[in-house]
Chain A
Amino acid sequence: MIEIKELHKKFGKLEVLKNVNLSCSKQECIALIGPNGCGKTTLIKAVLGMVIPDRGLIEFDGKTTFRQFKYRENIGYMPQIGRYPDYMTIAQIIDMIKKIRNSNTPLDEDLYHAFELEKMQNKQMRTLSGGTTQKVSAVLAFLFNPDVLILDEPTAGLDPLASEILKEKIIREKEKGKLILITSHLLSELDDLVTEIIFMQEGQVVFHKKVDQLQTETKENKISKAIAKILREQRDEQVN
């Protein structure tokens, strides 16, 4: 579904992405993990066309995304920090996006109701807490039933109840056969969600493996422990 080939990106002198090659297929829930500043968000933004790569190719459904925009109809994006026009209300924002999309697909308003946003639909965005803003971002990402969901730190800032609602929603969408790409630091949260893991470090993909493969290789059940084990082995190799 999404193919990334030899992707390079520099911000000034800083190399954020170094030769990234990835292939993500449908019906997978992929976790994109790695330390802060390893290029996760840049990679996601490159897929969305918000960051223009210096070199390399990104294909969506076999077609290049360079200078294209139509493919974004099939992507729901939830940013890490959603920034919205200050003086618009929740209802106005959702309305505006609906108008801009002008799509005929049935809308998916599950999250809107589950988060009980109708109660505060007339609140302006600048008055909202970080968590509520995240809820709005989540609603917008799922609203148009996209084939691909890209969620950047979806549960950061959400209260336990809301993050549970979101997780259940993600699982339901995964079962519908969608591709879901999640970045997160909370590895424990990913256990019951993800099927594949991409680990990035300093702008490079360290590995891209299925979760069960990872578990058998490291003989650990928890993703967090498996990753920690791999990292430890890596460090030991470097020391030797």
Chain B
Amino acid sequence: MNRLIKIILLDILKNKIVLAYAIILGILSWSSFALEDNSAKGILTILNVILFTVPLVSVLFSTIYIYNSSEFIELLLGQPIRRSKIWISLFLSLSISMVLAFFVGAGIPLLINSPDAVGLMMITTGCMISVIFVALAFLSSILTRDKAKGIGISIMTWLYFALLFDGIVLFLLFQCAEYPIENAMVGITALSPIDLARILILLHLDVSAMMGYTGAIFKDFFGTSVGLVISFLLLFLWAAIPFMLSLRKFRRKDL
């Protein structure tokens, strides 16, 4: 397993895109801290940048990389290697490189400028978001053999979670404003890993005081340690379930 991961990891890191991604994240993080006068505001800026770019890069880069590895996968299938091992090695290598790029680009400035619970929370959720979107990339690329279709599905996934989901939630919120839906809202956030991550971090910032009644309900749930554990568990499931589904499909695929 390790040999395979090493080979794939070296191949990914040779690809300059991961390096460029890390540098861009670095520039964004350093400049947000430099532009804002206090680190809490800086964190808020970074949060929005991260929740927008990290999923996009993770899901797109991984999808394209998996499609480009089809020859490599074919070559390995004739060798005495377990099928699932090929797929898992690919997943681990892509996850490691995405997490590494995130850590180097955004993690280091966060640790230096905001070395507290919020900073750490941000790094952990950022890493988890990276892995989740790598897993979603695996699912969308196993669904179809057509590269253009696969990349399309990936972009749709990102679009849905980054933009559409918020729109739908807002719409629901206004439509049902007269009903007591605050508790239901907590449940709905579990349906999108990006929103889950956003709320987790927001509630650790002072701005959560301005979020009104819904904010208070959120704080009641996500602020407790049980809520924290549940939300991390949910984030973990968001990575595990798509990947497991893709693994199941890969093991039965004709190549």
Q: Which residues of A contact B (CB under 8 A)?
A: 11, 45, 48-52, 69-73, 75, 77, 79, 83-86, 93, 96-97, 99-102
Contacts and interface: CB of A to CB of B under 8 A. Distances in A.
B3 A51 contact: no
Contact of A50 (B70, B72, B77, B81): B77
Interface of B: 3-4, 7, 11, 69-72, 74-83, 252-255
Given A84-B71, A101-B79, A50 B7 contact: no
What DSSP secondary structure best describes chain B's contact surface?
helix
Contacts of B254: 11, 45, 50-52
Of all A-B residue pairs in the complex, the 10 with the closest CB atoms, nearest first, are: A72-B80, A83-B71, A73-B80, A77-B78, A51-B254, A69-B82, A85-B72, A50-B255, A50-B77, A69-B80
B66 to A, nearest CB: 13
B8 to A, nearest CB: 10
Given A83-B71, A96-B7, A99-B7, A49 B83 contact: yes
Q: Most chain-A Cβ atoms within 10 A of its Cβ — which of B70, B72, B254?
A: B254
B3 A84 contact: no
B78 A52 contact: no
Given A50-B255, A52-B254, A83-B70, 7 more contacts: A49-B83, A51-B255, A72-B79, A75-B78, A79-B74, A100-B81, A101-B80
Contacts of A96: 7
A163 to B, nearest CB: 22
B79 A100 contact: yes
B79 to A, nearest CB: 6
A49 B252 CA distance: 10
Contacts of A11: 254
8 contacts: A51-B254, A69-B80, A69-B81, A72-B80, A75-B78, A86-B71, A99-B7, A100-B3
Contacts of A70: 80
A84 B71 CA distance: 5
Contacts of B77: 48-50
Contacts of B78: 48, 50, 72, 75, 77, 79
Contacts of A73: 80
A202 to B, nearest CB: 19
A71 B83 contact: no
A86 B69 CA distance: 10
B15 to A, nearest CB: 10
A102 B3 CA distance: 9
B83 A69 contact: yes
Contacts of A45: 254-255
B75 to A, nearest CB: 6
Nearest to A11: B254
Contact of B7 (A48, A52, A75, A100): A100
A85 B71 contact: yes
Q: Most chain-A Cβ atoms within 10 A of its Cβ — which of B70, B76, B80?
A: B80
A45 B75 CA distance: 12
